[in-house]
Amino acid sequence: MTERLDQPRELTPRLRPYYDPEAFGRLSERIARFLGTARFIVYMTVVVGMWLLWNTFAPYKFDPYPFIFLTLMLSLQASYAAPLILLAQNRQADRDRVQYEQDRMTAERNQAEIEYLTREIASLRLALGEVATRDYIRSELQRLHDDLTGRPV
C-alpha cells in the first residue's frame, strides 16, 4: 500500500523512553553549577581520601593498590560531567544570545527616541529664535522708557 502525501502519518508507539529536554537541561545546569563549587572539590577529596585510606589500611580491601576501580569511577564521573557542563554552557549561550537580541532592540529603540528628541529640541530652538523673549521685551521697554524720559541711551 502506498502512503498518501495529503494525509498525516499515523502515530506509532515510541520504542525509546520520552524525556523532557527542558527539564533535563535544568538538571544539567544544576549539576554543572555544583561541579564548579569548592564544596564539590572538598567532597570529592574526602571520598577519594577515604577510599585510599580504606584500601590501604583496612583488613578488607575491595580495591587494592593500583586502585583500578577508583580510576574507573573517576573516569565515569568525568565522562558524565563533561557533557553536562557543555550542555549547561550551550543553554547559557542560548540565553545570552536572546538577551543580546533584546538589548540590541532596546538600544535601537532608545537611539530612535534620542534622535526624535534631538530633532524636537532643534525645532524648539529654531522656533524660540523667532519669538521675543522676556529679556528682549524688557530691554525694548527700557529703551522706550529712556527715549520718553529723555535720558540718553
Q: Does the pLDDT of residue 87 top 80, yes or no?
A: yes
Residue entry with cell 527715549: 147
Residues of the chain above pLDDT 90, percent = 58
Closest CA relative to residue 139, chosen from 127, 147, 129, 130: 147
53 within domain boundaries:
yes
- Residue 102 domain boundaries: 21-149
Displacement of CA 28 from its chain's centroid (Å): 17
Question: How many domains, in total, are found in the chain?
Answer: 1
**pLDDT per residue as tens digits for the range 100-140:** 999 999 999 999 999 999 999 999 888 877 777 788 889 98
b/e 69-102 (16+ beta carbons within 10 angstroms → b): eeeeeeeeeeeeeeebbebbeebeeeeeeeeeee
54: helix, coil or strand? Answer: helix
28 within domain boundaries:
yes
10 within domain boundaries:
no
pLDDT value, residue 8: 77
13 within domain boundaries:
no
4 within domain boundaries:
no
pLDDT value, residue 108: 97
